[in-house]
Structures are given as C-alpha cells and as structure tokens.
Structure 1
Amino acid sequence: MNIVVVGAGFSGAVIGRCLAEAEFKVTVLDSRDHPAGNCHTERCQETGVMVHTYGPHIFHTDNQRVWDYVTSFGEFMPYRNQVKSTVGAAVYSLPINLHTINQFFGKTFDPQQARAFIETTQADTSIADPQNFEEQALRFVGPALYEAFFKGYTEKQWGCAPSELPASILKRLPLRFNYNDNYFAHQYQGIPKDGYTALIENILDHPGIDVQLSTPYTRAHAEHAEHVFWSGPLDGYFGEKLGRLGYRTLDFERFTKTGDWQGCAVMNYGDPDVPFTRITEHKHFAPWEEHEGTVCYREYSRSCGPNDIPYYPIRLVQEKALLSHYEALAEAEEGVTFVGRLGTYRYLDMDVTIAEAMTHAETFLAKHGAAAS
C-alpha cells in the first residue's frame, strides 16, 4: 500500500516510520523547506547557537515507551525548565513556589506557613467550582499573585479576558510550597543534543520513506495513495468551507548580542504595559555548549491570520461549536486519519503527540497488517 503522510513534524515522522518498518511505501509531504514543524532547530550562522526557530521546546514525559522511542533516535541532554518573570521592578521565580511567595510578600515562611497563608489570607475560598481561568486563579493563589503573574500575561497571550478562558489552562500549572523551581515534574526531561530537526530527520531516515519538502499537499496526492494521514489544520483539509478555526500565532523579534544577555532561558513579562509576553535566550537551552555570542527572541502573541503559522488553538465557545461540525466531516471522510495538534485542534505536548502517533499507526497496522507482507 502507498501511504501519504502530510506534515513532517513528530506526528508525521513517527507514523511514517512505523508504517515504513512494516514495509509500507510512505511519502511524507511538508510545505516548509525543513522537517520538524514548529519544533525546528537550526544553528545561527553568526553565533553558532542552536536556535529553536519557532519558540522553545522542552521535552518532558512520564511515558517510558515514548522516552525509549525518542532516545533511540538521538541523544538527549538533561534540562530543567526554570522560568523567571519580571513584574514591576523585581524578578521572580516561576512556577510560583516558596521562594516566589516569600519574595513577593516579604516573608520568611516555611512550607506549612506559606500554605496556610495562601489558603487563609489570599485564596478566594468562596469559589467552590471555578468556571474559568480567572476564577481558577483567584481560588488557586488569590488576587495579588493573580494580578502579578497571570492576568496581564494571559491577556497578552490569548488576546481576551481571562474570564473567557477555561479553567483547565491554569490547572496545568503547579503551585509549590517548597523551593523547587523546575517547571515540570515528569520523570524524563531533556532536549536533543543535536536539536529537534536532527532527531526527526533520524526518525524519517528509512528507505521506505520518501520525504518531499517545500511540497504543499494537493488532492492529486491522494489519488495515488490508499490512505492519508493528515497533520495539517483540520479546517484547512476541508478548505475552511465552514469557516476558520481560531488560533493564536506568534511574532518573534530576534536580536543577537555578545555574552550572556539575560542570564536565563526564559524571562516572562507579566506587566500589561509591556507588549511582549517573554524573552527567550536560546543558548541557555543548550547549557552543555559554550558560545560567546547569544541569540534572543522577544515573543508577541496575536490572532492568527490566513497566512500565519498557527500555534495555540483558542477553543472558546465559538470555536468549539465550529469544531464539532468539522469533526463530523472528518469522521465521515474515508481513507484519511486526522492526527496531531493541528489535525485534532488540541494543545498537545510532544510526548502525547508521539504516543498518539504510535497508536494511530498501530491501529492502522492492525486493520491493514496483512497488506504489509
């Protein structure tokens, strides 16, 4: 069988590799001139720094199978995501932890004192069942910490009031009553030593896979395929005939300097009068390397236009209603499997993307395995 996989990111690469190893003939198409999608990394010619071209990606997972899979295609270096935030005239540690609480309130609490302080003097305990992001934050940390670290940043990131966003967005962020400032709590955390693009190129490196870059998908490709795996935008597959699903996109203001510009990989800016959400300094994502020069990105979030790169699905009431209609079209479409962040219109971490890609491939093989021989 001939298989067409649209998109050379993690979803497409993993599915393509699984099917190629089962002796299917796989063609992987990508409209960009490089594989790896938004995980693409490349060396800055000026500084030698490995740059996360579309914003930083830190791999983190508790899934042993996924970890074993990615590390079989490339060496991973340990990496802890330790975010800082500039608020007013001070720099704080994120996620909110004991150091953040003590510094912000000018206290010297121990863990038990800090927990009691937040619960009894800050958190709005009258909110029994938070219905949106703002209510979740007020119940979670109270108005002072919410205003400082979440309200302005969230308004810039999502372009709407936090009261319009689901509570689930904030539930993903930890609140710690110790001095642990590691953003993630997963067993495995790291970044590929040679970058994500090299990792995905290794996954795609199989004689049964034909990778065609700078090649947008057309319906003509499907005429020569028994099955299509689509990891592009769900609405894009159907020509947006029901309307466009909403996304946020990012603009990057790149600049280079000499030395260490900000002293950390990620500096958030929570104040609403600062137009960007954060500054990332990319050589800090590879602390095992040494570079005299440095590459930084200021990130600006805005609504995604027709020709922009979609990053974050908005998934508000209007989008969810439209999504249900597109999901019905996708369900009725024969010979196509919709996969990944764009194909399913969900925010997915990389490990979940890989795990789902494996499942999609295995489901296909269980149904068509006889054809592989």
Structure 2
Amino acid sequence: MTLSILDLAPISSGQTAAEALRDTIDLARRAERLGYRRYWLAEHHFAPGVASSAPAVLIALVAAATSTIRVGSGAVQLGHQTPLSVVEQFGLIDALYPGRVDLGIGRSGQRRAELAKAPAFEPKDARVVDGLLIPPPFDFSRLAKHPHLVHYATLLQQPGAQTPDFAEQIDDVLAFLNGTHEAHAVPGEGAGVEVWILGSSGGQSAQVAGERGLPFAANYHVSPSGVLEAVDAYRAAFKPSDVLAEPYVIVSADVLAAADEPTAREVAKGYDLWVRSIRTGAGAMPYPTPEEADAHIWTDADRELVKDRVDTRFVGPPEQVAEGLRVLRRVTGADELLITTITHRHEDRALSYELLADAWNRP
C-alpha cells in the first residue's frame, strides 16, 4: 500500500503520557494488520500534548510490538544530536529488527535559527493547483522568535555547542553507515537503515536529499504552502545514487475519516484549538474534547493563525478523504503519502485509519 502513518503519540485532555504511549503501540499493531507501509514517529519537545520526545526509544518499542511494518522517524532533528549518536541509536534498532528501520532526518534546529534572523515576511495569496489548495505561507519567523522557543532551543544542546552545516552532518551519517568514516559506529556501521530527508520548502533539505540521491519527504500537513516548491527543488537537484536511480517522494497530510460528514466534523473538533496552541508558542496542548473546543472563544487573529492548517486537513467520509489524497498524490507526483490523524478519542483515530485503508485500497 502507498499509505504510511506519522504518529506524534498525542496526549489527549485527561490522559497521561503512559496512556498515550500505549495507544501508539496499539495503533502500530493495527496499522500493520491494515497493511500500512511505514509507521513513523515524530520528535517533539516541551509539548504538554505530545509524548514522542525520544523517537529512537519509541521506534524500538514499536518495532518490538510489530513484525513486518517498517518503523522510523519523521524526523530526528539533527541539530540536537551528533551524527554518530543518531547512527548508533538507529543501528542498534536495526541490529534487532533488520531491514525494517527508516532514519528520517530533519534540520529544524538549524532552520529555527535561520528563521529568527529572517527578513520581513511577505504575504502571498492562496491558490488552487489542479484541485489542490496551496494556502498562503505562515510566518514561521514570528514563532521562531518567541521567548519560550528561544529558551527551549538552548536546553536541547550543550552550552556553547555549535551545529555543523546540515549537508556535512548528512555526509557524516552516510559515512558512518557505509563504513567510510574514519571512526566506526557500533552498532550502526553496515546497518540496513533507510535514510530519508524531510523538508518543508525548496531549501537545503530538498537540495541535500536530491544531490545525494536519497528519498525525500515533503511536508503538506505542517507547512502546506511550500510543498510544491519542495518536491520540485528535490527533483531538480536529484542525482542517481546507489540508493535510488530516480527520485522518490513521500508527502505528508493531515486527515480524519469517519462514517459520515456530521460525525467527521464532530470528531474533528479541537484540531484548530490544538494547532493554535502550537502556533502561539505554548507547545501542543493536550488534545481537547469536542466540548472543550466548543467552549473556546475565537478571535479573527486566532482564526487567521490556524487557517492554512485547518483548510488543508482532509476531513469527511473515507471515500471523500481518499479522493482528496489522490489529488494530493497527483499534483505532487508523490510515490507515497504519509498521513497523520489526531483526535481526542483513541478509538476514533484508529477507526479513521481503518476506514481510510479500506477506501484507499478499493478499486
């Protein structure tokens, strides 16, 4: 199947982190039975509503609880760790679960520093490309300058640590894996880990992935405005490698499928409030109940803050969601889609993946 899953191990309102992690294990087992290709875990820090702060640890737990589905990161933030430590972690998992491990790498730590120094933001209009909504870009530079996030960034590295250039870090990762580095990663060297680069624009991540002939994951669910630029830049930069003869792209999307439209809209409540908590710099809140979502009083500024995410989420009956995803795949030329679903109730989330798998596989 050309659908995969990205999981944040979300913590719902009234739930503990331990309960959320058990839900992730349960969902991974269900995803395997449903035939999803990959199960990736995100990396988030300082978020009261997200339990995936240590993806390598959680990936190992998911791998132990499953047997065939590929497991991986979406993505390890390389600005917070050294290439050696990342290769050792994922090499260790591969040693026990060989041939199933994806190492997805992002550069958000470096990108955050760049955004904090970015020039004045230039707004753009929304557009529709062959049926796919490309919303105006969100001004991430404001978020990068939030005092909480600036402080948190210092807590993710040793004092005085300087992150090397992303391309150099990727080259080190590849060298450690293939045994051409002067030092040896054990476990890690020779591991059958599949390396992916994740990106949300046509910048360095897309360039590095293309130039090194690695598969690329483009972000439509968090930064939908830049998805076409990202995939175009990757393909333009692509050079065949020992890994790939041709470009290979996976595109992410936020989805929610339910039995019918009214049910989907009711279950979807809380998503806009949850996104608002992220974009105000507070960190992802515990995912609210529909009642808690209804109680929030929205301002025009609040609505504008989350509009691009809300408008590009695929919500509805499974056939409708599947059709929206087919449009996304066609317009981006994606080889796979990476879907993420967050709801207050775990059973609603699991049912969404079940309904969508059935609709996607139906002729």
User: Scaled by the length of structure 2, what TM-score is found?
Assistant: 0.27
Structure number with the higher strand fraction is 1
Which structure shows the higher helix fraction? Answer: 2
TM-score between the two structures when normalised by the length of structure 1: 0.26
Which protein has greater RCO, CA pairs closer than 8 Å, 6+ apart? 1
